[in-house]
Amino acid sequence: MKGQGLDRLVLGAVLGLALAGVGMFWWQGRAQVEEAAPPPPEPTETATEPTLPQVDPADLTGPAPPQATELTREQRRFFRYDRNRDLKITRNEMLSTRSDAFRKLDKDGNNLLTFEEWAVTTATRFDGADADGDRALTQAEFATTAPRRKTSKPRCNC
């Protein structure tokens, strides 16, 4: 075991020195090219400075602004998943939105969700919704388990 650690240390040092050497050669080669660059052309007395064109701004018209369309609720939901905006939802894009919820359920952090971890969370959620403690959820109690919608706040206090 100790021999492997020493071998890795020596190998790391050799690779580090090799990378530093390559970097030095690249840096010096770049500097030499810049030193040998031709000088900028000298201005001639016959050349005159170009003048800027004179235009009346009242005669100019720019392009029309793009039309903003209101997205439907389903389109907004689609674009929450479509992270790269290629109009396709890949498996990774679909699963990436679930990772925070998975981490909350995975209590020991081993990236494996056991039945016990799921059952404890589900039983805790059930007990929190069972207001009268009769071990059964009425429709009103069950409605409290629905995910809460984020309310949109006004963007400015104009």
How confident is the model over 4-14, as pLDDT tens digits? Answer: 778 888 889 99
* Core vs surface per residue 68-107: b (16+ CB within 10 A) or e: eeeeeeeeeeeeeebeeeeeebeeeeeeeeeeeeeeeebe
Mean pLDDT of the chain: 80
Q: Is the pTM of this model over 0.85?
A: no
Q: Name the more confident of 2 and 84.
A: 84
CB 142 within 8 A of CB 129: yes
pLDDT in tens, 76-98: 888 888 888 888 888 888 888 77
